[in-house]
Amino acid sequence: MFLTADLLTGDAALAAIDSVRRACRRTDGADPLDEAASLRLKHRGLDGIQAWVTADGFALRYDDSLDLVVSPDRRGAGLGQALASAALTADGPVTAWSHGDHPAARTLAGRLGATAVRELWVMRRSTAVPLPPLEVPAGVTVTGFRGDVDVDRLLAVNAAAFASHPEQGALDRAGLEERMAESWFDPAGLLMARDPDGALLGFHWTKRHDEDNGEVYVVGVSPDAQGRGLGRVLTLAGLRHLARTGVAEIHLYVEADNAPARAVYEGLGFTHSGGDTHVQYVRP
pLDDT per position as a tens digit, 5-14? 689 999 999 9
Ramachandran region, residue 212 (left: φ > 0; alpha: ψ -120 to 50; beta: rest): alpha
Distance CA 86, CA 143 (A): 50
Question: 160: number of CA atoms within 13 Å, CB side?
Answer: 16
Q: Inform me whether the pLDDT recorded for 1 exceeds 60.
A: no
Report which DSSP code applies to 137: P
Strands 249-255 and 65-70: unpaired
Residues 53-76 pLDDT 10s: 999 999 999 988 999 999 999 998
In 56-212, at which residue ranges do the beta strands (DSSP E only) sit?
57-62, 65-70, 94-98, 115-126, 141-144, 190-194, 200-208
CATH number of 4-113: 3.40.630.30
Domain ranges (residues) in the chain:
4-113, 124-274
In order of 38, 173, 201, 245, 262, the CA distances from 277 in angstroms are 20, 30, 30, 27, 14
CATH topology of domain 124-274: Aminopeptidase (3.40.630)
Q: Are 19 and 52 in contact (CB under 8 A)?
A: no
Residue 3 and residue 83 in contact, taking contact as beta carbons nearer than 8 Å: yes
pLDDT digits (tens, 9 = 90+) for 119-128: 999 999 999 9
The answer to whether residue 4 scores a pLDDT higher than 70 is no
User: Which H/E stretch holds residue 222?
Assistant: none
Full-model pTM: 0.89
| 57 exposure class (CB count in 10 Å sphere: 0-12, 13-18, 19+) | buried
Q: Which residues of 161-180 are buried (b: 16+ CB within 10 A; e: fewer)?
A: bbeeeeebeebeeebeebbe
